[in-house]
Amino acid sequence: MTFPGGTSISRLTVYTGACADGLEGGTPHLHTASTEAYVVIGGRGTLQTLDVHGLRETELSAGTTVWFTPGTIHRAVNGGELEVVVVMSNAGLPEAGDAVMTFPPEVVADAARYREAATLPAVDVEQAVERRRELAVEGFHRLAEGGPEALRHFYDSAVALVRPKVAGWREIWEANVAEQARRTAGVLDALERGDGSHLQESALMESPPQERWGMCGHLRAHDVAHPVVHTPH
C-alpha cells in the first residue's frame, strides 16, 4: 500500500543564499503531469508563480496551504526560516523527471544541454545546486519578460524533453495511483455487499525520511512506495 491516494510527501526547508536577483529561495520549475501542494509549517516567504495568466506572488506563512497544477512555474522565496510540507500527486513521477527547470530557451530546447545543466554530480553538490538555480532564475526572468509567446515555447520544449519518459511514467502511475483507485473501488463494492473482509488486512506503515537535495530546498523525502509495515511483536 502506498501513501493515501498514490501521493507523495516530503518536508522542505527552502534554500537560503541570495540569487543574482537578490532573492533567496529555490529553483524555478514546473511539473508536466503532477499537481503540487505546499502546507507551510514554519517561517515566512513568498511563492512566485508564472502561468498563462502572468506572474503572481502569494505570501506564505505558517498555516498557508496552496497548490498548483501542471504547467504552473513556481519558485519558493525564503523570507526567513521557511519550512513546508510538500504533497505531490502521482507519487514517483516527479522523481522520474516530471519536473522541468526554467533554464534559458537555448538550453531547454536541447535535451543534451538540459540534462547536463540539470544533473547533480557526486561531488561538490552544493555548488552545482547553486549553479543550476542561477541558470533557472535567469530563464525564469526571461520567461516573465517574454510574455505568452515565450511561455508557449517553453511549454513546447518541456513536452519534448519529457515525451520519451511517458511510457515509464505510465507504469509508475498504474502501480501507484491507478492501483489505489482500483482498490478503493473494490472496497466500496465489498461494503455495498456487506463484506468487510478487507478490514482483516489492516496494517500500520511507516516511511522514514531520506535526506536529499531538492529543487526548492533541502528535502526530507519519504519512499511511500516501499513503506515499513509494522506487525505485532
The whole-number mean pLDDT for each consecutive block of 10 residues of the chain, a chain of 233 residues, reads 88 94 97 98 98 97 97 97 96 94 98 96 93 97 97 98 97 94 96 97 92 94 89 69
Q: Which helix (H) or strand (E) holds 33?
A: none
Q: Grid coordinates standing for 93?
A: 513521477
176 phi and psi angles, rounded to 5 deg: -105, -80
Q: Which of 161, 36, 149, 67 is nearest to 110 (CA)?
A: 161
Q: What is the pLDDT of residue 18?
A: 94
Summary mean pLDDT of the chain: 95
In order of their start, the domains of the chain are 4-194+207-220 (2.60.120.10)
> How many angstroms separate the CA atoms of 134 and 140, rounded?
10
pLDDT digits (tens, 9 = 90+) for 86-144: 999 999 999 899 999 999 999 999 999 999 999 999 899 999 999 999 999 999 999 99
Q: What is the pLDDT of residue 182?
A: 95
Q: What is the pLDDT of residue 66?
A: 98
Q: What is the pLDDT of residue 157?
A: 98
Q: What is the pLDDT of residue 233?
A: 62
